[in-house]
Amino acid sequence: MSKEKIPYKTYLEENEMPKCWYNVRADMKVKPAPLLNPATLKPATIDELSAVFCRELAEQELNNTDAYIEIPEEIREFYKMYRPSPLVRAYCLEKKLGTPAHIYYKFEGNNTSGSHKLNSAIAQAYYAKKQGLTGVTTETGAGQWGTALSMACSYFDLKCDVYMVKVSYEQKPFRREVMRTYGANVTPSPSMTTEIGKKINAEFPGTTGSLGCAISEAVEKAVSTPNTRYVLGSVLNQVLLHQSVIGLETLSALKKLGVKADVIIGCAGGGSNLGGLISPFVGEMLRGENEYDIIAVEPASCPSLTRGKYAYDFCDTGKVCPLAKMYTLGSSFIPSANHAGGLRYHGMSSIVSELYDQGYIRATSVEQTDVFKAAETFARVEGILPAPESSHAIKVAIDEALKCKETGEAKNIVFGLTGTGYFDMVAYQKYNDGDMADYIPTDEEIAKCLSKLPVQPE
């Protein structure tokens, strides 16, 4: 197909949108390791998981066999408000780089939550409503997940309690106000509304909080409030399942254009965006139908895949959740305060970890200043201000395109542009002012955190 025939933006028709999510676990010969009950070190049962999560979501969490799971019609209707998202041909970036490569990106930022998080938020809110719950609780750091969940809960008329890390609550008042506009109750964490919050406030007066503490508060609030469950925006199998809508649309759009992707790139924090984008492509690899070069990009300041250990670990610093087997830096690892944006999680989704361990994915890490340089280049030619998280993928897409310039290869490079950076201007300002710093943890720091891993099951 000639260059002229591929449009800048390819949208599927509404009737071409996925009717099922794709569950990559069904096609994996070796499945991701199960979640473990931390007390017994035995696989967590559906009943144990249902105490914290909605029943149907707990079932999805454990479902290793069904390749396709129907997307309920109510969720498909909601998806139509902001999906299908465009697959964009980055003609202007290609021209700027002078590369023979063809660059595509799947843009998930065209919704008010500003990121792909809404794909799973609406699913989790739907199942909560269906189960007859009256509300959900969650934590948020950078705020994308909290915003997405607020929107979803507003749509289904559910109460939404968001524990927002205190330092973010104070430094990102605009994120907080978006959530409030959607009717969410936003509480700075640690707060005085939970036992664990009171305890932490007493122990560390004046603390500005952490994601681990916010998780603990959200879980406590959920289990102590009638008809309420806790929901999570990344890492879990259920979340990657919902996010497969990204990859399914991408694959359909590429097929429509007659384009075969060569390289697929996604940023990786907890793994929800990466896992969702690559699932259908990995499915083709697992079934022996196609080959792809898949790259997970993580920040050099939080390098779970490239420098972590594949082991069972706590999912949260408060150690209240089940144990998960994943590439991890240890649950006590906290990235440097000068690290901007998300991608701060100490571990990595079990699915992504297992695919990485089996060699279906390779991983690389990039430094912050390079990421913002790539973001600026992209913004100026493609007209979209990217989120810092997404810009990790941009950086590596540019690197790959420049390699093609050297070799003369016209590879098809596809990356996930997960969101917009409107609420990240403090970080952009640091970059604009030349005040941005890089940070790479030392081997000693990582070894210290890894030494605190829990006892491994036999």
Instruction: Tell me the CA distances in angstroms from 319 to 34, 55, 212, 376, 453, one per residue in order.
Output: 17, 22, 9, 39, 11
Residue 354: what residue type?
A: E
Q: Considering the rule CB under 8 A, would residue 19 count as an interface residue with a second copy?
A: no
Q: Considering the rule CB under 8 A, would residue 184 count as an interface residue with a second copy?
A: no
Q: Considering the rule CB under 8 A, would residue 378 count as an interface residue with a second copy?
A: no
Q: Considering the rule CB under 8 A, would residue 181 count as an interface residue with a second copy?
A: yes
Reported residue count of the chain is 458
Choose which of 35, 165, 178, 361 interacts with a second copy (CB under 8 A): 178
- Tell me the site size for a second copy, rule CB under 8 A: 43
Q: Considering the rule CB under 8 A, would residue 407 count as an interface residue with a second copy?
A: no
Q: Considering the rule CB under 8 A, would residue 415 count as an interface residue with a second copy?
A: no
Choose which of 19, 42, 80, 255 interacts with a second copy (CB under 8 A): 80
Q: Considering the rule CB under 8 A, would residue 7 count as an interface residue with a second copy?
A: yes
Q: Considering the rule CB under 8 A, would residue 418 count as an interface residue with a second copy?
A: no
**Residues 437/368, Cβ–Cβ less than 8 Å:** yes
Choose which of 257, 286, 379, 440 interacts with a second copy (CB under 8 A): 379
Q: For residue 264, report the phi and psi dihedrals to the nearest 5 degrees.
A: -125, 125
Site for a second copy in 138-167 (CB under 8 A): 151, 154-155
Residue 114: what residue type?
A: G
Distance CA 403, CA 364 (A): 15
5 or 29: CB nearest a second copy = 5
Distance CA 108, CA 418 (A): 5
46 or 437: CB nearest a second copy = 437
Q: Considering the rule CB under 8 A, would residue 183 count as an interface residue with a second copy?
A: yes
Q: Considering the rule CB under 8 A, would residue 383 count as an interface residue with a second copy?
A: yes
Q: Considering the rule CB under 8 A, would residue 362 count as an interface residue with a second copy?
A: no
8 or 204: CB nearest a second copy = 8
Q: Considering the rule CB under 8 A, would residue 249 count as an interface residue with a second copy?
A: no
Q: Which stretch binds a second copy (CB under 8 A): 43-51, 198-206, 361-369, 383-391?
A: 383-391
Spatial neighbors of 241 by CB under 8 A, at least 6 apart, are 21, 22, 23, 60, 69
Choose which of 64, 174, 192, 255 interacts with a second copy (CB under 8 A): 174
Q: Considering the rule CB under 8 A, would residue 422 count as an interface residue with a second copy?
A: yes
Shortest CB 192 distance to a second copy, Å = 21
367 or 376: CB nearest a second copy = 376
Choose which of 16, 70, 170, 177 interacts with a second copy (CB under 8 A): 177
Q: Considering the rule CB under 8 A, would residue 131 count as an interface residue with a second copy?
A: no
**Residues 221/137, Cβ–Cβ less than 8 Å:** yes
Which is nearest to 90 in space by CA: 6, 17, 2, 12?
6
Q: Considering the rule CB under 8 A, would residue 119 count as an interface residue with a second copy?
A: no
410 or 426: CB nearest a second copy = 426
Which is nearest to 253 in space by CA: 3, 4, 8, 2?
8
Instruction: Tell me the CA distances in angstroms from 381 to 90, 187, 329, 384, one per residue in order.
Output: 9, 39, 36, 8
81 or 447: CB nearest a second copy = 81
Distance CA 239, CA 429 (A): 32
Distance CA 19, CA 6 (A): 26
Q: Considering the rule CB under 8 A, would residue 187 count as an interface residue with a second copy?
A: no
Residue 408, CA atoms < 13 Å, CB-side half-sphere: 0
Shortest CB 299 distance to a second copy, Å = 20
Angle (CA) 248-254-259 rounded to 5° is: 145
Q: Considering the rule CB under 8 A, would residue 227 count as an interface residue with a second copy?
A: no
Helix (H) or strand (E) holding 88: strand 87-89
Distance CA 42, CA 126 (A): 30
Shortest CB 111 distance to a second copy, Å = 6
Site for a second copy in 319-358 (CB under 8 A): none
Structure tokens at 72: 């309920």
DSSP string of 114-166, one letter each residue: -BTTHHHHHHHHHHHHHTT--EEEEEESSSHHHHHHHHHHHHHT-EEEEEEEH
Q: Considering the rule CB under 8 A, would residue 14 count as an interface residue with a second copy?
A: yes
The site for a second copy (CB under 8 A) is made up of 7-9, 11, 13-14, 78, 80-82, 92, 110-112, 114, 118, 151, 154-155, 173-174, 177-178, 180-183, 376, 379-385, 420, 422-423, 425-426, 428-429, 432
